[in-house]
Amino acid sequence: MQEVQTALGKESYFINRFGHAADYICIQIHNISNKTINSSTRLLLAEKKIVTDLQMPAKQIPCNVRTHWNSTFNKVNMAIQYRTPLNSLINDSDNGLTCFSLFSTEWII
């Protein structure tokens, strides 16, 4: 019950702040991508290990480019395809990405 209240409070806060929940999710995916790419090799190795263990091809989340109308779609689409490895990477407290976690309701775009 507490998790649901926290999720609803977090959603309503960001819907009010950013105008729409999808905007918040895009921001979180962007933050995860930047943190992983600009981090030490430890995060990149952790991401690669998780993806390899799940027998998925290793890919990076594409960057967002303002002049390319579909770059946001490509970023969100890849994040959805790699939801399981992303959640594993985020939820491992050793990686320092837990502040970017997304609730199950937020993955429904």
In 3-state terms the chain splits into helix, strand, coil percentages (rounded to 5) of 70, 0, 30
Predicted model pTM: 0.68
Q: What is the pLDDT of residue 2?
A: 41
11-39 tens-digit pLDDT = 455 455 545 667 777 888 888 888 887 87
Confidence label for 108 from pLDDT (cuts 50, 70 and 90):
confident
* Total count of domains within the chain: 1
39-91 tens-digit pLDDT = 778 888 888 888 889 998 888 777 777 677 777 788 888 888 888 988 888 88
Q: 51, 58 in Cβ contact below 8 A?
A: yes
Domain that holds residue 74: 2-107
